[in-house]
Chains A and B, each alone.
Chain A
Amino acid sequence: MNRPAALAVLLLLAVSAGCTDTGPERTTLMVIPAGSLLYPLEDIEAAFESQHPDIDVRIEGHGSIQAIRQVTDLRREVDVVAVADASLIPDMMYRPMPEGDGNYTDWYIAFAENEVVIAYTGKSIGADEITQDNWYRILSRPDVRVGFSNPMLDACGYRALMVTALAEEYCEEPGLFEAIIGGSFDPPLQVDRTDGVAEITLPELMRPAGDKVAIRDGSIYLLSLLDAGGIDYAFEYRSVAEDHGLLWIDLPPEINLGFAEHADDYQKVHVTLGFRRFQSIGSERIGLPIVYAMTIPADAPHPDEARMFVDFVLECFQDGWPKSGTATVADKQIFR
């Protein structure tokens, strides 16, 4: 859904609600989303609150794993969790709560998809020649600087590695991974291909040598670097590139992690992180279509209001996101 259309829908929802009750007591609804959802949730929060003036939505963004840990490891009172990798919810939350009152949750609802693109600006080296056909050759040039977020911290970071490894095979360009990313590390990061599976094992410290590759903690720092000319291209979610008015190159569906029908292709790439940052989740990541999902923790302090918010978000995302949509998520299917 594009931004003006989204705003119109939100306004309509707010007006149709006939919001009149302005009682003094407001329920605070704690919502913990993945960072890439913060931008669309700004408008959604405002529209929901205008429809429900008795509810104060508090949004606190984190990386997806950290978002879930607020509920599981840190035992904070959270009403809604929304993550950029649906598989994390069953992995981390279909587990008993220490208090013995059942699992942290037993369900999630997929509500959006995304895909990895190559974001850039008009100032980027090669900006006047990069296309969907030659992007990997441009990014391979020694003088072209490439950025991605830290795979230890951000799903988009390990997805950047997956996309590049998939591209090496899809584009039939041996050495592509090393030229774009791997060669900037000492020793070089390599893709080990065994029995049709590409395995990338990361070092404990993700610190590239030289200027060819830049790694930052999160997407916003890459955007800042792009703007300042510190890098030429960044691996980003399409929604992020779109939300921030960047130029971007769409990647083929076979490698961009955005199409459910290519799930079998994506699963052929694995990334093993350099260390186990959290005891609550392992260090291997397997390529999957990028699916966003929400749940309400079993011990959410305001489950009724949380359900209203989840329904509202689903309605806002029902026409697809990013705007031109990719594959279709099973319509509002609840997974258990």
Chain B
Amino acid sequence: MIPVRRIILVLIGALILASGCLDTTPADDYQDWNLTLAGDEEMVLTHPEIRALPAAEGYGYSVSTVGIKHGPNRYRGVPLADLVLAAGGAGEDDLVYVSAEDGYLWVFGMDQVRGEGFFTFDENLKEVAPPPLRVILAYEQDGSPLPFNEGGPLRLVIITESPDVITEGSSWVKWVDRVEVQRR
């Protein structure tokens, strides 16, 4: 029987090859930052390994619980759905725990991992119907490595094609160091 870890590594390799766009942009400050993926087994990805995965790009614009808007910025990162897949995948009722070095945790349903089930707002913070959204772990903001104060090296960001779509910032976990699939 093929070990699960080998399957996962092959899957990641396939994703990298499929992307056809190896990003070798250095982010020297974050070389020691690792991301733990926990599913059926646990594995650790280095920052360069994460940057080598197929990337998604879009605009991210968040708002805090008291209405402070942040953005819009252009973000680039690895889709959370790909990381969940690399962790062994998840069933529809499973949950994904995204947690950070500072002790913050937010929980996502699988529909949210796919970019569904979020509330979106216009510039006046009036609710609008959500356009297509993607959830990524961003490592790049406006073409530069994501600054630490902005949640770098890895921050969960909800992106869209349009710069004027605002999403709730509570799920924008800063300093992400662990993604864990919780079986239900």
Chain A positions within 8 Å of B, measured between CB atoms, are: 35, 38, 60-63, 66, 73-74, 149-150, 152-154, 204-205, 207, 216-218, 220-221, 224-225, 228, 230, 274-280
Q: What's the dominant secondary structure at chain A's contact region? A: loop
The answer for the CA separation of A152 and B105 in the assembled complex, in Å, is: 11
Partner of B68, one of A60, A154, A221: A60
Chain B positions within 8 Å of A, measured between CB atoms, are: 64-68, 95, 97, 102-107, 109, 117, 119, 121, 125-127, 168-170
Q: Which residue of B lies closest to A225 (CB)?
A: B127
B66 x A62 contact (CB < 8 A): yes
The answer for the CA separation of A38 and B64 in the assembled complex, in Å, is: 13
The answer for the CA separation of A154 and B86 in the assembled complex, in Å, is: 34
A62 x B126 contact (CB < 8 A): no
Which residues on the A side are within 8 Å of B169 (C-beta)?
217
17 A-B residue pairs with Cβ-Cβ distance under 8 Å, sorted by A, are A35-B65, A35-B66, A38-B66, A61-B64, A61-B67, A62-B66, A66-B65, A73-B103, A153-B65, A154-B65, A205-B95, A224-B126, A224-B127, A277-B104, A278-B103, A278-B104, A279-B103
The answer for the CA separation of A228 and B119 in the assembled complex, in Å, is: 15
CB distance from B110 to the nearest CB of A (A): 10
Which residues on the B side are within 8 Å of A216 (C-beta)?
119, 168
Partner of B170, one of A73, A153, A225, A279: A153
Which residues on the B side are within 8 Å of A220 (C-beta)?
66-67, 125
From known contacts A217-B170, A220-B66, A228-B127, infer whether A74 and B102 are also in contact, taking CB-CB under 8 Å: yes
Q: Which residue of B lies closest to A76 (CB)?
A: B149
Q: Which residue of A lies closest to B95 (CB)?
A: A204
A73 x B102 contact (CB < 8 A): yes
Which residues on the B side are within 8 Å of A278 (C-beta)?
103-105
